[in-house]
Amino acid sequence: MDMTADNKELELSKESKIFLKEASSWAKFLSILGFIGIGFMILAGLAFGSIMSSINPDLQDLPLPSFAFGLIYLIIAGIYFFPVLFLYRFVAHSQKALTNTDPFQLTVALKNLKYHYQLFGILAIIFIRIYLIAGLVLLVTLMVFK
């Protein structure tokens, strides 16, 4: 006898629907702020890259070419776009699911929420590794040049 709950359909209680609606409202707010932030990052990257290139072309002491600073902003904006997009898709599909009582839309919404958190988790792991490597490089540098 199969004792798993796979045979049953999951139904949302009235309270769960209210929580989902509130969560999607906040997610909508955060995703819109995210898209606005990405727009500002793109503008800042373009402006910073052109300003750095035009200030002094003889900046030979910088470790990177002057346009690279603006390019870094553009790369970060490109990376940040995908988690914000997945969050916005969660909002759109969860609102459709609640409006139309559509379990398929809820499934798509939750899949996008999973992708949102999965991507942020991967990015967190990457940044933790970068910080650890930078910390080790700093520690070794301090020990060598002490």
Any idea what the Cα angle at residue 74 is, between residues 72 and 75, rounded to 5°?
Answer: 65
Look at residue 1 in the predicted model and tell me its pLDDT: 43
Q: Is residue 5 part of a domain?
A: no
Q: Is residue 3 part of a domain?
A: no
Q: Is residue 6 part of a domain?
A: no
Closest CA to 20 of 91, 100, 116, 111: 91
- Quick: pLDDT tens for 62-109: 667 767 878 888 999 999 999 999 999 999 999 999 999 999 999 999
In this predicted structure, which of 8-17, 47-56, 90-99, 133-142 has the lowest mean pLDDT? 47-56
H or E element in which residue 57 lies: none
Question: Cβ atoms within 10 A of the Cβ of 143, count?
Answer: 8
Residues 53-91 as b or e (16 or more Cβ within 10 Å = b): eeeeeeeeeeeeebeebbeebbeebeebeebbbbbbbbb
Average pLDDT score, the chain: 88
Q: Is residue 103 part of a domain?
A: yes
Q: Is residue 4 part of a domain?
A: no
Torsion angle in degrees (nearest 10) through CA of 112, 117, 119, 124: 170
Number of domain units in the chain: 1
Q: Is residue 74 part of a domain?
A: yes
Closest CA to 113 of 96, 89, 95, 97: 89
By residue range, what is the domain housing residue 43? 14-144
pTM for the predicted model, two decimal places: 0.80
Q: Is residue 46 part of a domain?
A: yes
Distance CA 122, CA 137 (A): 23
Look at residue 58 in the predicted model and tell me its pLDDT: 60
Q: Is residue 9 part of a domain?
A: no
